[in-house]
Chain A
Amino acid sequence: MGKIVAVTGNEACAYALKQINPDVCAAYPITPATDLMQRFSGYVSNGQVDTELVLVESEHSAMSACIGAAAAGGRVATATSSQGLALMWEMLYIAAGTRLPIVMPLVNRALSAPLNIHGDHSDGMGARDTGWIQIYSENAQEAYDNLIQSFRIAEHLEIRTPAMVCMDGFIVSHSIERVEYIDDADVKKFVGKFQAVHPLLDLEHPKSYGPLILTDLYHEYKRAQHEVMTKVSGVVLEVAAEFEKMTGRKYGLFESYRLEDAEIAIVVMSSAAGTTKDIIDQYRDKGVKVGLLKPRMFRPFPFTQIAEALKHVKAIAVLDRADSFGGYGPLFSEIAGAVMSMDTKPAMINKIFGLGGRDYLPDQAEQVIDELIKIAETGKVGAIKEYIGVRE
């Protein structure tokens, strides 16, 4: 068994990286992920890992260095947040399109302007279509567990696609929680030895990375990239099953909380799910059949499985901690897309909450559930998209 510690989300992720001991790590500090890489660089300078730490002058360079190191044939990791992720934008596509299994904790933070360092999902949602696998974590334990599992997922020989493991900036990255660490030897055994595919440093077999592919083949390469994503769900579940055997902690593509017999449901990701579960318990005690669905894997989005899990509910509220200005929230669009395939279509509302680290309060969850109860009774939806917790 592992040991139980009191650590922050950043500390737990840095410790996971220490246990995994990647070959190369190129990073540039950005709040609130600075602390994660700072702790990891401490492990490097103390000789506790033999990772080659590359100090670069920007996040764009950090991802570029990671791509080079991954193409060379190394196990590679980095971490970032917010504007840092935005600065990596063009390199994210190259990492995914070149099928390099880089793993990156993303400490979710708002995007400027106005400048804000606190937690929301704008950065992760901006990278939605880059071809990276995205896994969201509710708390420090999940961030730690997801990070370890993500190496296995990204590096799976049928997948070979980069993965980002997300947790809420400050709310999780800087709060101290109870976390159960896995033994070093077990982590080492679980992630296994890295197997390079087409490494550049294999001098016996020269090769080129990053060719120009014009109208003749680009379409086919993108079709192939989509196909890889269809295989991710299976691998995520396979890895989770093995992880459960090792730790007793169960993970899926999403978490269902009191959803089986629910008439109304809230869909929300990351740390806000914890608060929502508490309020759901209170309403359950009052006899209200309310449940929660917490997506864990956002990319690829498990739309058929989610539709199956939600098919019996009458009304759904999707809570987005990011906005798409002039459109519905990104999570709402996904859930609406999933619901499309269902015979019975539930009523749906979209709430934008917690932008720029604004607290998500228990009474906001109550407000949403009260609205859902009314919608389920009357079948009438007022405004589909609304902001909650906003000064009016």
Chain B
Amino acid sequence: MSKKFWETLPQGSVVLEAGSSAKFKTGTWRSMRPKWIEENCIQCMFCWIYCPDMSIKVTAEGKRAEFDYDYCKGCGICALECPGKKGNKAIVMEEEGK
């Protein structure tokens, strides 16, 4: 007899594989989307430090790269903390889907 769906769940909701959080894409929660304006970026890495998830990609050379929108919840902390260049922000928040 085949098992019902709920009978196939791991006992006690134990997650039996390591590093599974990478599979939990939280980007679908977002209503505001951060936009990176590269010419205003001074590579201070504040956005990388402040991001509560893993949405700021860093290149092999240690440079800030494009956002990883799979994990960005649109909280806006990066845009708030970004010092920008001469008063021009390198990250601005835009409405999602625009």
Contacts and interface: CB of A to CB of B under 8 A. Distances in A.
Chain A CB within 10 Å — which of B9, B12, B14 has the most?
B12
A208 B10 CA distance: 12
A213 B9 CA distance: 12
Interface stretch (A121-129, A221-229, A284-292): A221-229
B12 A207 contact: no
A255 B10 CA distance: 36
Contact of B15 (A197, A211, A224, A227): A211
A97 B9 contact: no
Interface residues of A, number: 21
Contacts of A221: 6, 9, 13
Given A99-B11, A160-B11, A198 B5 contact: no
Given A220-B6, A221-B6, A211 B16 contact: no
A206 interface: yes
B9 A98 contact: no
Interface in B6-33: 6-7, 9-18, 20
Contacts of B12: 97-100, 160, 198, 209
Contact of B9 (A100, A209, A210, A224): A224
Contacts of B11: 99, 160, 197-198
A160 B14 CA distance: 13
A34 B13 CA distance: 34
Interface in B63-79: none
Interface of B: 5-7, 9-18, 20
The 8 closest A-B pairs by CB, nearest first: A99-B12, A206-B18, A220-B6, A208-B15, A98-B12, A223-B6, A198-B14, A224-B6
18 contacts: A97-B13, A98-B14, A160-B12, A198-B11, A198-B12, A206-B17, A207-B15, A207-B17, A208-B14, A208-B20, A209-B15, A210-B13, A217-B9, A220-B6, A220-B9, A224-B7, A224-B9, A227-B6
Given A97-B12, A98-B12, A206-B18, 17 more contacts: A97-B13, A98-B13, A100-B12, A160-B11, A197-B11, A198-B10, A198-B11, A198-B12, A198-B14, A198-B16, A205-B16, A207-B15, A207-B16, A207-B18, A208-B15, A217-B9, A221-B13
